[in-house]
Amino acid sequence: MKQRPLRRSTCEGCSRTFYSRSPLSRFCNSTCQSRTWKQNNKATQAELEQLFIAQEQAKQQEQELLND
């Protein structure tokens, strides 16, 4: 089986040059991939946490109404 040629790419996370056989590689390693995902989704995670807290409070209020 023939191997794909090496491609030189620039990491989207740290801007370092890296080599890969896959044309789909966007990051030099999993650390850069995780760090970039966390940076891009930080606001989303905060919003989800607020929604979760609001749901829990609504459940508590509903249970208190049912218990009264």
* Residue 55: predicted pLDDT: 95
> How many Å apart are CA 60 and CA 68, to the nearest integer?
12
Q: Is residue 2 over pLDDT 90?
A: no
CA-CA-CA-CA torsion sign (53, 58, 64, 67)? negative
- The 10s digit of each residue's pLDDT in 9-66 is 999 999 999 999 999 999 999 999 999 999 888 878 888 899 999 999 999 999 988 8
Domain ranges of the chain: 7-20+32-67
Q: Which residue has the tokens 């850069």?
A: 32
Q: Is residue 67 over pLDDT 90?
A: no
This prediction's pTM: 0.59
